[in-house]
Amino acid sequence: MSEHVLTQVSNGTGFITLDRPKALNSLSLDMVRAMTETLLAWRDDAQVAAVVLRSSSEKALCAGGDIRFFHDVGKATPQGGSALLEDFFTEEYALNHLIHFYPKPYIALMDGVVMGGGMGVAQGGPGCGVRIVTERTKMAMPEVNIGLFPDVGGSHFLSHAPGRLGRYLGVTGVTVGAADALYVGLADHFVPVAQLPALSALMETTPGARLAQAIADFAAPFRAQAGVAVMETQRDAIERHFAADTVAGMMASLAGDSGEFAQKTLHIMQGRSPLMMCVTLSLLDRGAAMDVADCLRMERNVVRRNFEHGEVLEGVRALVIDKDNAPKWSPATLDEVTAQMVERFFEPAWPAWAHPLRHLA
C-alpha cells in the first residue's frame, strides 16, 4: 500500500484519504495501485456499503497525475516511452473504469483543487457517484495547457455534458468553481466549508447503507449558496462559438465577438497547444458516440501517441520544470496543424487483441 493513501472502515463506510499534501495529492503509480487494491477488496466486502474519497489537506482533493514523473521518465527514454509510464496510464485508466462502474455509492469530497487525474478518481458513474463541491473547489481538465488532452475518462464525461459546455471546458482547459461544476453536471451537491466538520461527522456516524441519501438531505439547504455559474450566464456565447467544427473556427468566432468573455477565452486559447486543442476536439467528437470503456481505450492510445510526439514533455518543461511559461509547441501555430497530424494520434498503437485495456467491459 502507498504511504500517501490512508484507508479505514467505519460504520459500514470505507474511507480513502489521499495524503500527499506537498504535491496536492498528485497521483503516483503506487497511489493508483493502492486505491485499486482497496476498491477491489471493498467491492466484495459485505461490511462496506459505501466508499468516501477525501483529502488530508484543504488545498486539494487531487491536482492530477504526477506530471514531474511524466517528464522525467519520458525524457529519459526513447520517444517518451517506458515500462513505468505505460503501467501508470494503463492502471490509472483501469482505476477510472472501476470507479465509474462501482457497485456501491462512491462519494468524492471535491474540496480544493480537483483537476485532470483528480477528476478521474472523483467522477463516479451515474449509478454510484456522489460528488460534493465547496466554495474552495477549483475544477478543471487543464491538459491542453501542458500539451496533453483531457483523459481519465474526459472524452466521455465532457462529451456528454450539455450542449457545447464539454467542448468549452476541454478545448480551453479553463478552471471553474462549484456553481459551474453543478451546472455542467460534474458535481451533485454543494456544502459550504463552514459545514464540512458537520459533514465529516455525518459521514463517520451514518451507516454506509444510508449515507448517500443522508448527504443529499444534509446538502439540500445549501444549494443556492453555490452562486450563479459563469457557464450559465455565458451559455449563449459558449453554444455559438464552440459549435464550430474546428478549433480555428472557434477562435475566429471568438475573435469576432468584442465581449469580455469571448476575448478572455480567445486569449486563453492562444496560449494552449494548437495541436492538442485540435486533438481534444476530435477526441470529444469521437467520445460522444462511445461507451466508457471504449473512451478509455481511445485515450490510452492517444496518450501513447502523445508521448511519442513529445508535446506533453515540452509543456511540462515550460510550466513545471523550468517555469519559463514559454512552451515551444510543435507545431507552433494553429495554421500549421494538419488533419493528418491529428489523425496520427488516433492510429492504433496495438492490435485490438493486444490493447492494454482490452479487458474493460
Cα–Cα distance, 96 to 103 (Å, whole number) = 14
Mean pLDDT of all residues in the chain? 96
CB 234 within 8 A of CB 162: no
C-alpha cell of 179? Answer: 456553481
Cα–Cα distance, 280 to 312 (Å, whole number) = 13
pLDDT tens for each residue of 229-265: 999 999 999 999 999 999 999 999 999 999 999 999 9
Which residue out of 92, 151, 299, 311 is catalytically annotated?
A: 151
Domain that holds residue 13: 5-354
Cell 511519442, residue located: 308
Residue 85 lies in a domain: yes
Q: Tell me whether residue 143 is one of the annotated catalytic residues.
A: yes
Q: Quick one: DSSP state of residue 26?
A: P
pLDDT tens for each residue of 66-104: 888 888 887 777 665 688 899 999 999 999 999 999 999
Between the alpha carbon of residue 42 and those of residues 99, 203, 277, the distances in Å are 12, 17, 38
Residue 138 lies in a domain: yes
Residue 361 lies in a domain: no
Q: Enter the pTM of the model.
A: 0.96
Peptide bond into 331 cis (omega under 30): yes
Please tell me the total count of domains within the chain: 1
pLDDT recorded at residue 70: 83
Question: How would residue 196 be classed by pLDDT, with cut points 50, 70 and 90?
Answer: very high
Q: How many helices (H) and strands (E) does the chain have?
A: 17, 9
Which residue out of 143, 180, 188, 314 is catalytically annotated?
A: 143
Nearest residue to 275 via CA among 331, 219, 197, 210: 331
Residue 80 lies in a domain: yes
Residue 25 lies in a domain: yes
- The average pLDDT across 111-123 equals 98
Pairing of strands 113-115, 138-140: parallel
Q: Tell me whether residue 249 is one of the annotated catalytic residues.
A: no
Which residue out of 14, 64, 74, 117 is catalytically annotated?
A: 117
Residue 360 lies in a domain: no
Angle at 128 between CA 123 and CA 131, to 5 degrees: 45
Is the pLDDT at 326 greater than 90? The verdict is yes
Q: Tell me whether residue 259 is one of the annotated catalytic residues.
A: no
Residue 117 lies in a domain: yes
Q: Quick one: DSSP state of residue 65?
A: B
Residue 151 lies in a domain: yes
- The average pLDDT across 108-127 equals 97
Cα–Cα distance, 219 to 332 (Å, whole number) = 47
Angle in degrees, 0-180, between the axes of helices 274-287 and 247-255, rounded to the nearest 10: 110
pLDDT recorded at residue 59: 98
Contacts of 301 (CB under 8 A, 6+ apart): 345, 346, 347, 348, 349, 350, 355
Q: Tell me whether residue 336 is one of the annotated catalytic residues.
A: no
Which residue out of 64, 65, 129, 208 is catalytically annotated?
A: 65
**CATH number, domain at 274?**
3.90.226.10
